[in-house]
Structure 1
């Protein structure tokens, strides 16, 4: 395994780092200020559209898609250090590069499983950054960590499907630019194979019966940068059967195919969040004085910084190994490693950011520094795309199988 960056990765890293320093990081405060003056608080601040235009001009666009037909043609190993860089500003950078969840996973679904008509109607404008999308799977009434529990019904009625159910924490749904929902529900709730009961259908925004009911907060944050997280209700929503993604009964398999790349993308960005927390810790430690000297002289502060550096280096190597395996043996062959990084990375990054919060004191929990928002985002990723315990259960079962 050779994790040295190749020439193309190095070139893209240099361009992306320059883009972050010159455009993205200075735009963070501008975006907050502009959002406060928007007529629709869930709308997109003008500076975000400016960032998107500049990213496209510089060729920093759709980097996440491995196929050259739709994306930059990068491998997972090439994309990993680029996603890490965007993690330094998770509210702005991924969106600026059209590499933000949930659109990334939805574009992958449409590219891999969508019909020609679906790709033309939805994938092309998503690739162009003209619209946003949402993925509607999680439900409040059931333990959605087990997707076979889903209650939303998708019933065939002639040439239509009729959908009824309630979803929540549907990322991006509050954004008025969110034009389409990929909805997962059961087309065969009594089927013998519980993993063939589910299907996915495309529901355009504005379809009668689809109600975006309210924004769900995440540790008190409304997460405007990601378009919010909504509770939605589907009350006998009717769409044509041509809106089916893939085949009936294929929803569970499509969800698993979607979540594999999504999990590693989250871990890549989390490492960037940890790097920013370390940078902020160091800046604070050398600039603040307490008990007669800079905080950098305090042994506990040095321990926090040293431990954070060791942890990040360990996580990065594990993520790069996972990316390399995904490229060489496929997502199924990298299943153990994907689960390992999904368990280890959010948990460790939460601890690193928490140390930075401690170092900043009152400033660490407030809005004048990005740490509280970074902590909330990292902590949420211990739940998103499957909670720690689900991955631990599956990984342990695979390990024990060798001995049973």
Structure 2
């Protein structure tokens, strides 16, 4: 395994670093002020986002997540996604690399028909619209997708959709034009062939957005929507892939999406550590800087260890995807998805602690980032599901010669 950056990746890294320091970080105040003045229930995009998107596109820092567009491997993209994590609310969208659009674009790239791509993938790749992914439901444990109850029943040339979804991230944004909805098309099929995915324009009659769910009291600009689908009728031509292929599409979608979240989480943790180091060097307690207190040094060292460990595991997962495909990388992706959010929470919690009362206010981004990464331990599969997958793989692994020798 070789995780060294290629010349191409190094060039992107330098250009993106410059973009972050020159444009993104200075724009954060404008973004926050707009959101504060607009109010928590206003999901319109702050104008500075569109300004940053134009700057990023002009500089060739656009759609970096998708190999077919950028020419970057997953391993080459990893440090770039990490850089974007330093400004999690602004940078990913400025680069057109924000969830859930990235996962939806990957899904459309893999499974959309020519017409579906023209209608939805092209405007998403151009950053003209946004999208959302409707899978999770409030009435069932959606960590087991076989529980999904929303129905999508064929009626002549249409499918009729009925059900309730929530955590449909992005659907409250006025720019959101399309939903990818997962539902049950055939309850009599084998358990992993009952579900399908279909494209639903958000303005289709019967799509009722009830509210946006806050995360620890914080309302995301794009929103996390609860949606009722009441006899929503869409053409059968809106089906993604084949009927009964929902599980396969979900796995193809969630694999890259999970690792991209983890890449960004490492950048978030790096920012938290940078804030921690700055704080402990400036604050005096008991006659000396916090940085000279042994317990604080321990927290700084633990944070550096955990960040670098997570980065190496993330790079290994990215390398495995590049070399052997998503299926062969599934265990590595499960590992980093279980590790990265917990690591980010650990580092953020330590940073909050050394900031004292300031750490839990909006004067610093730490509390908000902590809330998001605590939620990350649930979305795209909770920690327990990933740990179960890792354990099953380990328990089913053929013994190595060494293991066989010591367990005779």
Q: TM-score under structure 1 normalisation?
A: 0.97
Aligned to 1:172: 170
> Aligned partners of 2:44, 2:21: CA distance in 1, in Å?
25
Residues 336-358 of structure 1: per-residue CA shift (max 9 Å, x gap):
11111011111111011100000
Task: Kindly provide the CA deviation profile for residues 222-272 of structure 1, in whole angstroms up to 9, marking residues without a partner as x.
Answer: 111xx0101000000000000000110001110011000011001100000
Contact 1:156 1:162 (8 Å CA) reproduced = yes
- Distance, in Å, in 2 between the alignment partners of 1:392 and 1:319 is 16
1:402 & 1:262 partners in 2: Cα distance? 26
The Cα of 1:38 is off from its aligned counterpart by 4.2
Cα distance in 1 for partners of 2:398, 2:13 equals: 44
Deviation at 1:397, TM superposition (A): 1.1
8 Å CA contact 1:152, 1:163 repeated in 2: yes
Deviates more, 1:340-349 or 1:268-277: 340-349
Which digits, 9 at most, give the CA deviation of each residue in 1:25-77, with x for residues without a partner? 1111111112334498200111000000000000000000011xxx2111000
Q: Tell me which of 202, 213, 216 is aligned to 1:205.
A: 202
Further displaced range: 328-337 or 78-87: 328-337
Q: How many angstroms does 1:78 deviate by?
A: 0.4
Alpha-carbon shift at residue 289 of structure 1 (Å): 1.0
Match of 2:78 in 1: 80
Measure, in 2, the Cα distance between the counterparts of 1:325 and 1:394. Answer: 17
Q: CA deviation at 1:403?
A: 6.1
Moved over 3 A (4+): 36-40
Aligned-partner Cα distance in 1 for 2:332–2:390: 9
The corresponding residue for 1:90 is 88
In 1: Cα distance, 2:350 partner to 2:212 partner:
30
Distance 1:403 1:265 in 2: 30
Query: Offset at 1:393?
Result: 1.0
Rounded Cα–Cα distance in structure 2 between residues aligned with 1:73 and 1:105:
17
Asked if residue 302 in structure 1 is aligned to residue 297 in structure 2, the reply is: yes
Matches for 1:29-68 after TM superposition, within 5 Å: 29-38=29-38, 41-67=42-68
1:163-183 alpha-carbon deviations (Å, 9 max, x no partner): 000000110011000000000
| Ranges in structure 1 where 5+ consecutive residues have no aligned partner | none
Q: How far apart are the structure 1 equivalents of 2:38 and 2:115? A: 35
Shift of 1:219: 1.0
Partners of 1:38 and 1:45 within 8 A in 2: no
Question: Which consecutive residues of structure 2, in runs of 5 or more, have no partner in the other structure?
Answer: 400-408
- 1:358 aligns to what SS in structure 2? helix
Q: C-alpha separation between the residues in 2 aligned to 1:11 and 1:305?
A: 30
Aligned to 2:335: 340
Q: CA deviation at 1:402?
A: 2.7
Q: Of 271, 276, 279, which aligns to 2:271?
A: 276
Rounded to whole Å, the distance in 1 between the matches of 2:133 and 2:275 is 34
User: What's the counterpart of residue 104 of structure 1?
Assistant: 102
1:258 counterpart = 2:253? yes
Residue 221, structure 1, aligned to residue 218, structure 2: yes
Native 8 Å contact 1:223 1:229 kept in 2: yes
Counterparts of 2:198 and 2:42 in 1: how far apart (Å)?
29
Provide the rounded CA distance (Å) in 1 between the counterparts of 2:59 and 2:146: 43
2:245 aligned with 1:247:
no
Deviations 1:320-339 (A, max 9, x none): 11111100011111111111
Distance in structure 1 (CA, Å) of the matches to 2:364 and 2:136: 31
In the alignment of these two chains, the number of paired residues is 398
Which residue of 1 is the match for residue 307 of structure 2?
A: 312
Distance in 2 between residues matched to 1:303 and 1:2, nearest whole Å? 31
Choose from 375, 381, 394 the match for 2:370: 375
* 1:10 match: 10
What does residue 187 of structure 1 align with?
185
Distance 1:342 1:201 in 2: 27
> What corresponds to 1:267 in structure 2?
262
Mapped to 2, the partners of 1:264 and 1:172 lie a distance apart of 19
Contact kept? 1:87, 1:270, Cα under 8 Å: yes
Q: Residue 188 of structure 1 contacts residue 197 of structure 1 at CA under 8 Å; is this kept in 2?
A: yes
Distance across 2 between alignment mates of 1:363 and 1:189: 52
